[in-house]
Amino acid sequence: MQTSKRSWSLPHTYVLLFVIIMIVAALTWVVPSGVFERQQVEIADGYVADTVVPGTFERIEKVTDERDLRQDLFDVLTAPAKGVVHAAEVIAFVLVVGGAFGIITRTGAIDRGLHGLALTLRNKGIVVIPIMITLFSLGGSTFGMSEEVLPLYPVVISLMFILRFDSMTAVMILFLSTQAGYIGATINPFSVLLAQAISDIQGNPLLWLRAIAWVVFTSLAIGYTMWYAARVRGNPESSSVFASDQKLRQDLAVSREEHPAFSIRDRIILVAFVIALGVVTWGLVTRGWYMAEIGAVFLACGLLSGAVAKMGASTIAEHFVEGCKDFVYAAFVIGLTRGILVIAEQGMIIDPILNGLYELLNGVPTYMLTTFALLAHNVITFFVPSSSGEAALTLPVLAPLGDLVGIERDSLVLAYQFGNGLPNIISPTNGLLLAGLAIARIRFSLWFRAILPFFFIAWPIAAIFAWISAYA
């Protein structure tokens, strides 16, 4: 009698996130509740951060006449909706951009343009990978590029298909590159500069080491992605996303068949798209634009593309709705991840975990402090994936620890930088990662298996850099 082997895999992304919400809710019953006092501190360029006041931690009774901090089934069921409300700006951005791309994609201009690019490159398509990863990583390292790449997923996925790679390669190019930039951040205002301001650090004393780290982690991302892409190109069926890519290829209208000639209208649409990217970059760097402004630019590009393609108003609206549908999955993923934080905040268990880590690190030998700080931030990042959020939460408490043990505060900032960036590569609570995977129709379990070797290579390197910083 034959028995069928059943391979283990992580559940659907929605199931995984809901289970995590339930686990965090259970923790609110066993982890003591507490809170730090907070104060608003004005950082550079008018940015105001809600920071923790060191030495002010206070335990709070879970159950009183006025409240019950233990999160029950009803709280778990309301967490997704509350998460969606809290993440409304991001979700609106994703849907607007998705609708705009629905219009642009249906014109066929991108498909025909990418096809022409593929014919030009022929068998040299792999050179696209180091160029794109370097550019996106540089964006992450300097001005904090992350959410900005979400609109590029359909384009890069289509390009990878035409160059005989897979959707996983596209996710590596877009997500892994920006994350490598965050890990090796040099002047990122949302991580390095904010963390240094909170920690009262003048200038950027470890900029030279950060620059070296950026080169190392970006090179590692390039090498790993090219290694993966070469394997897939040599044997397409070996790709873990081979089956799902067949459906995605159809949805994106990507084909290797003969295409109509690249027309003047196609050129206008693609030029408009490139101009839109330029305007977005200009707005981010010089005007402090964020999601609403970026969404407006891409919406304008979508409407213009529809008009150039001679679509009627109703047709444009229909394609916009279809585009939104393609991004709904990704949008709700973001809401669910925010729901995890909602439960933890309502149960008031984040500050006790932070205080416990602080007490633990306070007794660590000096030569091991940066490594343990790195590990501590790995834990915190699971609950607070946001780099700016984690900086405001942890560094007012952890940075003074450097003064007590004779380590420069910027070394602990570097440990935070690595400790936040690395786990976000594999964390199921990182909404941006799950949103990108949702657009690419890739299950989190498949991404986890594909990228885990990179994490295990990168983490010891980060630990070495953090250790060097303590003695630099």
Single-letter residue type at 252: L
Instruction: Give the confidence band of 331 by pLDDT, cuts at 50, 70, 90.
Output: confident
Provide the pLDDT for residue 292.
83
Task: Say what the pLDDT of residue 23 is.
Answer: 92
Cβ–Cβ < 8 Å for 90, 330 = no
pTM, two decimals, is 0.74
Of 147 and 319, the one with more pLDDT: 319
Instruction: Give the model's confidence band at 426: pLDDT under 50 very low, under 70 low, under 90 confident, else very high.
Output: very high
Question: What is the average pLDDT across 338-365?
Answer: 84
Say which residues have a Cβ less than 8 Å from residue 121's Cβ, sequence separation at least 6.
127, 128, 163
**What distances in angstroms separate CA 332 from CA 13, 80, 275, 382, one per listed residue?**
11, 8, 30, 19
Query: Which residues lie closer than 8 Å to 153 by C-beta, 6 or more apart?
Result: 170, 171, 174, 436, 439, 440
**Dist CA 167 CA 145 (whole Å):** 21
CB of 276 closer than 8 Å to CB of 301: yes
Q: Read off the pLDDT of residues 252-310 as tens digits, 9 standing for 90 and up.
A: 765 555 556 678 888 899 899 889 878 887 886 677 776 788 889 989 999 999 999 99
pLDDT in tens, 177-200: 999 999 999 887 778 877 887 777
In this structure, the number of other CB atoms found within 10 A of the CB of residue 92 comes to 14
pLDDT digits (tens, 9 = 90+) for 21-30: 999 999 999 9
| SS3 call for 12 | coil
Q: Which of 165-179, 355-369, 395-409 has the highest mean pLDDT?
A: 165-179
Domain residue spans of the chain: 34-55+79-471
Of 330-339, 400-409, 417-426, the least confident: 400-409
Return the higher-pLDDT residue of 7 and 148.
148
Q: What is the pLDDT of residues 76-124, one digit of tens each?
A: 999 999 988 988 887 888 788 888 888 987 887 876 776 777 667 767 7
pLDDT for 128 beyond 60: yes
One-letter identity of residue 319:
H
The more confidently predicted of residues 284 and 432 is 432
Give per-residue pLDDT as tens, 373-388.
899 899 888 888 888 7
